[in-house]
Amino acid sequence: MENFTPYLSLAGGLIIGIAATLLLAAGRIAGISGILGGLMPPAPAADRKWRWLFLLGLIGGAVLFPIMGGDISYINLNPYNFSDEMHYGALIVGGLLVGLGTTIGAGCTSGHGICGLGRMSVRSLVSVCTFMAVAGVVVFVIRTVMGG
Amino acid sequence: MFLVIALASGLLFGYGLALSGMLSPAKVVGFLDIAYNWDPSLAFVMGGGVAVTVVAFHFLLKRPHPIFGDKFYLPTRTDIDKRLVIGAALFGGGWAIGGLCPGPAISSLAYASPKIAVFVVAMVVGVLIAKTLFPSKS
* Ramachandran sector of residue A147 (left: φ over 0; alpha: ψ -120 to 50; beta: rest): left
ipTM over 0.90: yes
Shortest Cα–Cα distance, B76 to chain A (Å): 10
State the pLDDT at residue A1: 53
B96 within some domain = yes
Query: Residues of chain A whose pLDDT is less than 70?
Result: 1-2, 148
Q: How far apart are CA B26 and CA B21, in angstroms?
A: 9
Domain span holding position B77: 2-133
Q: How far apart are CA A145 and CA B79, in angstroms?
A: 37
User: Does residue A12 contact residue B19 with C-beta atoms inside 8 Å?
Assistant: yes
pLDDT above 70 covers what percent of chain A?
Answer: 98
Q: How far apart are CA B82 and CA A80, in angstroms?
A: 31
Residues of A within 8 A of B32 (CB-CB) are 132, 135-136, 138-139
Q: How far apart are CA B119 and CA A98, in angstroms?
A: 9
- Rg over alpha carbons for chain B, rounded to the nearest Å, is 17
Quick check: B68 and A26 CB within 8 A?
yes
State the pLDDT at residue B3: 96
**B12 interfaces chain A, CB cutoff of 8 Å:** yes
User: Does residue A125 contact residue B88 with C-beta atoms inside 8 Å?
Assistant: no
Query: Tell me: the pLDDT tens digits for A96-116?
Result: 999 999 999 999 999 999 999
Q: How far apart are CA A130 and CA B31, in angstroms?
A: 16
B76 within some domain = yes
Count CB-CB contacts under 10 A for residue B137. Answer: 4
Quick check: B48 and A98 CB within 8 A?
no
Q: Where are the domains of chain A?
A: 77-148
Query: Residues of chain B whose pLDDT is less than 70?
Result: 137-138
Q: How far apart are CA B51 and CA B48, in angstroms?
A: 5
Give the count of domains, chain B: 1
B99 within some domain = yes
- Whether the ω angle into residue A41 lies within 30 degrees of 0, i.e. cis, is no
Q: How far apart are CA A58 and CA A61, in angstroms?
A: 5
B138 within some domain = no
**B8 interfaces chain A, CB cutoff of 8 Å:** yes
Count CB-CB contacts under 10 A for residue B129. Answer: 15
B105 within some domain = yes
B119 within some domain = yes
B39 within some domain = yes
Quick check: B49 and A114 CB within 8 A?
yes
Shortest Cα–Cα distance, A70 to chain B (Å): 7
What is the pTM (predicted TM-score) of this model? Answer: 0.96
Handedness of CA A33, A17, B53, A1 (dihedral sign): positive
Quick check: A136 and B120 CB within 8 A?
no
Please provide the DSSP assignment of A8-68 as one string: HHHHHHHHHHHHHHHHHTTT----HHHHHHTTSTTS-GGG-HHHHHHHHHHHHHHHHHHHT
B30 within some domain = yes
State the pLDDT at residue A45: 85
State the pLDDT at residue A43: 84
State the pLDDT at residue A42: 83
